[in-house]
Homo-oligomer: A and B are copies of this chain.
């Protein structure tokens, strides 16, 4: 019989710091107004139909809005918006987060960041509850790509990097 259950949380976090990830500001339009947070746990699922997933920590301040959300927008950002991503990853009040840059409404009504590297406007199609997180599977109904900003920001080794 194997007795191991899982690794220690700190070892897992150290390991995950070596798994590079895109920097995404994920938004939705809640009844109270726009809500958003910075996430690296976003990935492509299928291109038939176009589907991605977003993991949301159920203990976070944005969880109630995203648990109720029918739609959301994944705004993947480059160095131009690295500071904005920091802001959306912190404790700044929502209204102040959105006041720092230019947004418009996506088809679904979710806030889309002007000149993000790429924005995916989505309808939430399925959900899974896994450990402390909700996994939102999303059908992509619109994609907008910046024509100016072609560099990526990457989260790796607990800091931002720039990628041409």
Interface positions of A (Cβ within 8 A of B): 2, 4-7, 9, 11-16, 18-22, 24, 40-53, 55, 57, 76, 107, 117-118, 120, 126, 128, 130-133, 135, 137, 139-143, 145, 150, 152, 154, 156-157, 161, 163-164
Contact between B131 and A45, CB atoms less than 8 A apart? yes
Residues of B within 8 A of A57 (CB): 46
Partner of A15, one of B2, B5, B120, B163: B120
Main secondary structure of the interface of A (DSSP, over half): strand
> Which chain B positions have C-beta within 8 A of A41?
43-45
List chain B residues, Cβ under 8 A from A161. 163-164
Cα-based distance from A131 to B156 in the complex (angstroms): 30
* A7 touching B131, Cβ below 8 Å: no
Chain B residues near A140 (CB, 8 Å)? 6-7, 12, 15
Closest CB of chain B to A2's CB: distance in Å?
Answer: 7
6 contacts between A and B (CB under 8 A): A4-B107, A7-B142, A12-B140, A16-B52, A19-B22, A21-B22
Q: What distance in Å separates the Cβ of A59 from its nearest Cβ neighbour in chain B?
A: 9
Within 8 Å by CB of A46, from B11, B48, B133, lies B133
CB distance from A73 to the nearest CB of B (A): 12
